Homo-oligomer: A and B are copies of this chain.
Amino acid sequence: MHILITAGGTAEKIDNVRTIINQATGRLGKEIAAAFSSAPDCRITYIHGPQADLPEKHSNISFFPVGSVQELLHEMTRQLASQPFDAVIHSMAVSDYQMDFAIDGDAFANKLAEELVRRPQDISETELAEDIRQLLRTHAFVPEKQAKKLSSDSRQLILFLGRAPKVISIIKTVQPETILVGFKLLVDVSEDVLTDAALKSIKTNNADFILANDLTKITGETHQAFLIDSGANKRYFSTKQEIAAGIRQAVISKLEERSE
């Protein structure tokens, strides 16, 4: 059995000293690796973010560190192209956004005024909003050269972030036969909202299971979560160990079903 696990969080650089991170200790990925390690003949490919708490080094685990979503996408694509995986367990907290550019607040105001002052005088609010949207999207404000370290002296700093690629969506596209376990983390929502988000992710990404959890229900040793499949069948867990064991069991059952 060969399993690909992603763990920890991605990190999008703003400049050489500042970074936007998606908070994740990596401990859940570590537990999942431990659960699969005990399966006979299991090899694990482990893609992880910076500062993730890692599983112990072992001959059956290969580690691949990544930083940004782009780096994750690159490593994931490379791994999926190089060998078939029985399952991909994508527990990494992946940024939805990546840095487009950073600009000083005053410089932004000047640039925007320069663009907008030429607009026709009878422009409607809707047209003006559309013009501003276009300006923002076409990066009309990008400084010619981004500094290696942003100025420390701006009164206001504005960061523009664009959508990062959805790494999860490529997994089944490249390996339709793999068992895909995705993760959905929301903050302080009802179980219904979490369930809907998980089912939507199953559909969008062609996932076999989603591990759904709520940040407000992860404290100390407690980690409440449920594993849901496309039929909305749920299994509930209260600790990282239970989650890891539950995912392992779900994956192995599915592999056994297929081989029957």
Q: Which residues of A contact B (CB under 8 A)?
A: 14-23, 51, 93, 95-97, 100, 105-106, 108-110, 112-114, 116-117, 121, 123-126, 128-133, 136-137, 148-149, 152-163, 185-188, 215
Choice from B100, B113, B132 contacting A129 with Cβ under 8 Å: B113
Question: Assuming A18-B22, A21-B19, A215-B17, is B158 touching A159 (CB within 8 A)?
Answer: yes
Question: Assuming A17-B23, A17-B185, A20-B18, is B95 touching A113 (CB within 8 A)?
Answer: no
Query: What residue of chain B has the Cβ atom nearest to residue A133's Cβ?
Result: B109
Question: How many copies of this protein are present in the complex?
Answer: 2
Give chain B residues whose Cβ lies under 8 Å from the Cβ of A20. Answer: 14, 18-21
Give chain B residues whose Cβ lies under 8 Å from the Cβ of A133. Answer: 105-106, 109
Choice from B22, B124, B159, B186 contacting A117 with Cβ under 8 Å: B124
Contacts A15-B187, A149-B215 supplied; 11 other A-B pairs, CB < 8 Å: A17-B23, A18-B22, A20-B21, A97-B157, A112-B129, A113-B125, A117-B124, A117-B125, A121-B121, A149-B186, A157-B161
Q: Say whether A187 contacts B16, CB under 8 Å.
A: yes
Query: What residue of chain B has the Cβ atom nearest to residue A20's Cβ?
Result: B20
Choice from B21, B93, B106 contacting A21 with Cβ under 8 Å: B21
Give chain B residues whose Cβ lies under 8 Å from the Cβ of A148. Answer: 187-188
Give chain B residues whose Cβ lies under 8 Å from the Cβ of A21. Answer: 18-21
Q: Say whether A113 contacts B132, CB under 8 Å.
A: yes
User: Measured between C-beta atoms, what is the minimum distance from A233 to chain B in Å?
Assistant: 25
Inter-chain CA distance A163–B155, complex, in Å, is: 6
Query: What residue of chain B has the Cβ atom nearest to residue A162's Cβ?
Result: B156
Query: What residue of chain B has the Cβ atom nearest to residue A134's Cβ?
Result: B109
Give chain B residues whose Cβ lies under 8 Å from the Cβ of A152. Answer: 96
Q: Say whether A95 contacts B18, CB under 8 Å.
A: yes
Give chain B residues whose Cβ lies under 8 Å from the Cβ of A96. Answer: 152-153
**Between-chain CB contacts (< 8 Å), 14 pairs:** A17-B185, A17-B215, A105-B133, A105-B160, A109-B136, A113-B125, A117-B123, A117-B124, A117-B125, A117-B128, A136-B156, A156-B161, A158-B159, A158-B161
Give chain B residues whose Cβ lies under 8 Å from the Cβ of A108. Answer: 132, 136
Give chain B residues whose Cβ lies under 8 Å from the Cβ of A158. Answer: 136, 158-161
Q: Say whether A105 contacts B17, CB under 8 Å.
A: no
Question: Assuming A18-B23, A157-B161, A158-B159, is B93 touching A110 (CB within 8 A)?
Answer: no
Give chain B residues whose Cβ lies under 8 Å from the Cβ of A125. Answer: 113-114, 117
